[in-house]
Every structure is written in C-alpha cells, then in structure tokens.
C-alpha cells in the first residue's frame, strides 16, 4: 500500500491543521485575562463594622437599594455583574416585594428604585456601573420594569439604548399574577409553592422577599376580607393543587381567608402571633413532602429556611421602613443566603434574641468552626449602633 501517495493530497490539510491546533493550544495556554483592571475613585462612606455584622447604609430607600446592589455585584468583571436590573417605583413597597420574585437565577437582578416618570441620577449611575449582561432567557433584556411605571422612564431607557421588559400593572394583584406568568414562561411551569402575604401589614409581607430572592417562588397579596379574582385565577393555574404558605398572623390574614385558599391546594401558616415572631418562625420553618410528578418519579418539595443551627447569615431590617428593607433581599440571592429578621430602632425583640441564642455557634475547633454573620440595613437612625453591637454579641462564636 502506497501510503505516501495516498497522503499526498491531504498533506496541505495536515500542515494547516497542525499549525492551527498549535496556535489554538498556544492561545489557550497563554490566555490570561486580567481581572484587575477597574479602579475606584471618589469618596466612600464609612460603614459601621463589628466582628460579625456589616452595616449597609443609605440615607433613603433609593440609596439603600444602590448600596445593596454594590454589595452583591462588585462588577469588576463579567462574572460578578448581574444579568439584569429591576426598576420599581420608589413609593410602592408592594411592587418591591413582588419584584423580589425575579431576583433569582436565571434572571439574576438587583432591585433599584425609580420615580414613576424619570429615573433619578443616582439610580441611573448605578445602573450603568452594574452594566447588566442581559437576561439570556428573555431576549437579553437588561432592565425589567415592575409596578406602575410611566412612559418617561421607558423613553429614557430607549434613549440609553437599554433593552427592557415592561411588566407594569396598575393594581398589586394584577402585578402579582403578571409576574407569576412571566416566571412560568421561563421555567415552563407555574411553581406549586406560593406565599400569601397580607396587603395591609408590610412587616409580615416583606419577610417573603428574602425567601423568593433565594428560591424564586411566587407571592400573592390578600386583603383581610377577600381573595381577589386575579389571585384565584393564578392559583388555579398550578398543574396540580398548590402548596400555599401563609405569611401572616390570624389578625392580618384571618382564618376565613385561609379556608378560602384551601380550595386551591394545601394551606399552611407560618408560626408567630405577630411579625416579630413570624420572622423567626419563617427562619426556622421547613416543610418537606411530595410535589409534582407521576408514578415512578415525584419530585420532593422543600419550603422554608429551616435554620436551626449555626453557620448562617441573617439580614436585620426595621419593618418600619419596608421600602428600605425589600431591596436587601438580593443579599439572600448571592453570597450568604439568609432570612430577614426584624428589629426595632433601639431594641431587639425577645423572640429574635431567643432565636439568635439558639443558632449561636459554640467554639468547637480552630479548623472547622461554624460562623454566623449579619447585615444591618440602613443608617443608625433606622437601626441603632447599640442594636448592632448587641446583634454582634449574639452572632459571635461563644468561647473558647
């Protein structure tokens, strides 16, 4: 067999291939991206630090939202940028709570506040710093508008050449259903687990934000006397019975409502007679069981933080300022995922103290120790330095 003759007509190809593979290999070996290009300018705020807590400051809700986004997304290279940015009207805490639903992957977006007709300078500046990558599950949109946002903002975004998804609705219930459907498009399914929160009690309702930022479930608002039609329709969209978790004491979501909701699936209520206890109740609550499936395969469901041991993170917010609290939900989306805990300006309620004592780490070893950590949201007029110090003591490792 005359292999030389046969190889003749491929000789050129052989050299070409060899050359290009060597070039490629060299490129890959020498490819050394410089992740340290960006520099910081300007003056930064002093933040109050303790061993286990960090304060994320901000004069108002808008600034807190920016500060939180900066905490989660350093944006020093592609992989620590967000996928998109969510814009919410700065006076609508209910829309903000709902917006937390789409923080989760694959969207991967922080919440920033805007005015209804114009994007404020600071927010726009932060939006540019974040420079979102685009949501690859929705035509690479970079901004998602939530709540009742006017044409002014939209034309501003067009001018900035930022592609956006418009998820605006007039009423909170409509918005909840819209977001539920939007997420269903991405996941090709309406998630069976839903959280019901009270319309009139922000302190309870904001607790849902950190959970959905972590897991992406849907939130629905209910009033004291009735469940709206939109909510009913959405609940009925689950492929089977829903698993409905009520985040509110009987005072804000009466028994009657819970019973009404049970038409749409299995209802459970988080423990706690007021919002302070509810936060702790949610933090330690976990519900396992069956979920969607057929015959040979049924996926399990797991719902609730279920934190009863050391090694976790908590986000401390003052429920008097719901608009400040909600954007901090991003902190349970990346980094140290953890629940909201509620504190007052100058006092930690007893249930929270007891809970923190339960989960406080004890010194075990220098090489494999569990640590707790806490974020303090807002300035010292929102949560005082004294409270921060107390929290720090409760989070630190006890001993040796």
Partner 1 sequence: MKRFGLYFAVLLIFTMSILPLYSLVESLRIGKIPKEVTRLHMSTNNTTRVLADNYQELQQKILEIKNPEGEAPDLIILVSSENWVQAVTATSLLAPPINSTLLLVDRNKENEVLEYINKLQPRGERALNGAHILAIGQTAQISEKIKEHGFKVKIVTGDNATIAQKIYDVKSKLALRKNPWVIIIDQRIGHSYALPSINWAVHRGTPILVVDGDKLPKATEDSIRSQGKQLSFYVMASADKFSSTVRKSLEEFGNVIEIGNRDPIQNAINFAKYYDDRTGFGWQTTTETVEGGKNFLVVNEKDWQSAVIGSQIFNKGLFGPLLLTASPNKLPVVLEKFYFGVSPDWWVTPAEGPYNHTWLLGSTDKISYAVQGRLNFLQEITNYENQGSQGISGLEALTIVWYALAVCGAIWIWFHLSTRMFQLSPFMRVIWVLVVLSLGPVGLWAYYICYRGYGHQVALGEFPRPLWVKVLAATCSTIGSGMPTMIGTGFVIVFLGAPLFLNRGPLFVLTGPMAQTVFWSYLAAVIINAFIFVPIMLAFKENSTYWGTVKANWLTVLISMTAISVGMMSTMWWFMMEYLAMMPEEVNVLWWGSMYAANIAGLITGYIGNWVLVIRGEKKGTM
Q: Which of residues 57-96 bind partner 1 (CB under 8 A)?
A: 57-58, 63, 66-67, 70-72, 74-81
Helix (H, G, I), strand (E, B) or coil at 27: helix
Give least dist CB 396 to partner 1, A: 3
Element (H, E) at 54: strand 53-56
The answer to the question of residue 377 lying near partner 1 (CB under 8 A) is no
The answer to the question of residue 358 lying near partner 1 (CB under 8 A) is no
* Segment interacting with partner 1, rule: CB under 8 A, options 95-103, 176-184, 199-207, 272-280: 176-184
**Judged by CB, which is closer to partner 1: 232, or 336?**
336
**Judged by CB, which is closer to partner 1: 289, or 335?**
335
Give least dist CB 115 to partner 1, A: 19
Question: Tokens 């349970």 correspond to what residue?
Answer: 332
The answer to the question of residue 121 lying near partner 1 (CB under 8 A) is no
The answer to the question of residue 368 lying near partner 1 (CB under 8 A) is yes
The answer to the question of residue 33 lying near partner 1 (CB under 8 A) is yes
Out of 254, 291, 371, 380, the residue judged to bind partner 1 by CB under 8 A: 371
Phi then psi for 275, rounded to 5 degrees?
-60, -35
Tokens of 113: 């506040």
Phi then psi for 48, rounded to 5 degrees?
-75, 120
Give least dist CB 167 to partner 1, A: 8
Element (H, E) at 210: helix 207-215
Radius of gyration over alpha carbons of the chain, in Å? Answer: 25
Q: Are 89 and 95 in contact (CB under 8 A)?
A: yes
The answer to the question of residue 370 lying near partner 1 (CB under 8 A) is yes
Tokens of 2: 């005359």
The answer to the question of residue 16 lying near partner 1 (CB under 8 A) is no
Euclidean distance between CA atoms 318 and 341, whole angstroms: 9
CB contact set of 283 (below 8 Å; sequence gap of 6+): 305, 307, 314, 339, 341, 355
The answer to the question of residue 378 lying near partner 1 (CB under 8 A) is no
The answer to the question of residue 294 lying near partner 1 (CB under 8 A) is no
Out of 181, 260, 274, 287, the residue judged to bind partner 1 by CB under 8 A: 181
Query: Cα separations (Å) of 213 from 14, 204, 219?
Result: 54, 16, 11
Tokens of 54: 């960090």
Out of 12, 29, 30, 39, the residue judged to bind partner 1 by CB under 8 A: 39
The answer to the question of residue 369 lying near partner 1 (CB under 8 A) is yes
The answer to the question of residue 124 lying near partner 1 (CB under 8 A) is no
Euclidean distance between CA atoms 334 and 267, whole angstroms: 29
**Judged by CB, which is closer to partner 1: 331, or 352?**
331
**Judged by CB, which is closer to partner 1: 32, or 255?**
32
**Judged by CB, which is closer to partner 1: 198, or 304?**
304
The answer to the question of residue 30 lying near partner 1 (CB under 8 A) is no
Query: Cα separations (Å) of 62 from 114, 199, 362?
Result: 8, 22, 38
Give least dist CB 71 to partner 1, A: 6
Out of 16, 26, 49, 236, the residue judged to bind partner 1 by CB under 8 A: 49
Give least dist CB 394 to partner 1, A: 10
The answer to the question of residue 336 lying near partner 1 (CB under 8 A) is yes
Query: Cα separations (Å) of 352 from 44, 307, 347, 365, 390?
Result: 32, 13, 10, 27, 12
Euclidean distance between CA atoms 178 and 184, whole angstroms: 10
Q: Burial, 98: exposed, middle or buried (Cβ in 10 Å; 0-12, 13-18, 19+)?
A: buried
Euclidean distance between CA atoms 37 and 76, whole angstroms: 8
The answer to the question of residue 381 lying near partner 1 (CB under 8 A) is no
Q: Which residues between 189 and 218 bind partner 1 (CB under 8 A)?
A: 189, 214-215
Q: Which residues between 132 and 171 bind partner 1 (CB under 8 A)?
A: 133-141
Number of residues that bind partner 1 (CB under 8 A): 100
The answer to the question of residue 7 lying near partner 1 (CB under 8 A) is yes
């Amino acid at each position: 067999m005359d292999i030389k003759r046969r190889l003749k007509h491929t000789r050129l190809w052989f050299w070409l291939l060899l050359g290009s593979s060597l070039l490629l290999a060299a490129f890959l070996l020498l490819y050394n991206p410089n992740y340290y290009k960006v520099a910081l300018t300007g003056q930064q705020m002093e933040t109050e630090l303790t061993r286990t807590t960090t304060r994320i400051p901000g004069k108002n809700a808008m600034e807190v939202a920016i500060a939180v986004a900066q905490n989660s997304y350093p944006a020093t290279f592609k992989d620590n940028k967000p996928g998109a940015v969510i814009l919410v009207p700065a006076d609508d805490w209910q829309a903000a709570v709902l917006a937390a639903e789409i923080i989760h992957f694959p969207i991967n977006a922080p919440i920033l506040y805007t005015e209804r007709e114009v994007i404020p300078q600071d927010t726009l500046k932060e939006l540019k710093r974040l420079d979102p990558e685009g949501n690859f599950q929705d035509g690479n949109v970079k901004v998602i508008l939530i709540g009742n946002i006017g044409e002014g903002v939209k034309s501003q975004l067009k001018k900035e050449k930022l592609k956006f998804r418009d998820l605006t609705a007039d009423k909170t219930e409509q918005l909840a259903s819209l977001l539920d459907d939007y997420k269903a498009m991405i996941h090709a399914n309406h998630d069976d687990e839903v959280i019901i929160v009270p319309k009139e009690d922000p302190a309870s309702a904001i607790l849902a934000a950190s959970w959905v930022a972590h897991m992406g479930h849907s939130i629905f608002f209910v009033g004291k006397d009735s469940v709206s039609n939109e909510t009913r329709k959405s609940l009925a969209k689950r492929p089977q019975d829903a698993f409905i978790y009520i985040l509110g004491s009987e005072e804000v979501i009466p028994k009657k409502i819970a019973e009404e909701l049970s038409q749409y699936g299995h209802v459970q209520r988080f423990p706690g007679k007021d919002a302070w206890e509810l936060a702790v109740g949610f933090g330690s609550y976990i519900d396992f069981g069956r979920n969607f499936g057929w015959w040979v395969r049924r996926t399990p469901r797991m719902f609730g933080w279920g934190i009863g041991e050391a090694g976790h993170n908590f986000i401390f917010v003052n429920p008097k300022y719901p608009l400040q609290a909600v954007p901090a939900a991003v902190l349970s989306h990346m980094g140290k995922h953890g629940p909201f805990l509620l504190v007052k300006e100058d006092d930690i309620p007893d249930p929270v103290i007891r809970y923190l004592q339960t989960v406080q780490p004890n010194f075990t070893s220098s090489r494999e120790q569990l640590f707790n950590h806490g974020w303090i949201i807002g300035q010292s007029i929102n949560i005082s330095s004294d409270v921060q110090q107390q929290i720090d003591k409760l989070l630190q490792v006890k001993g040796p």
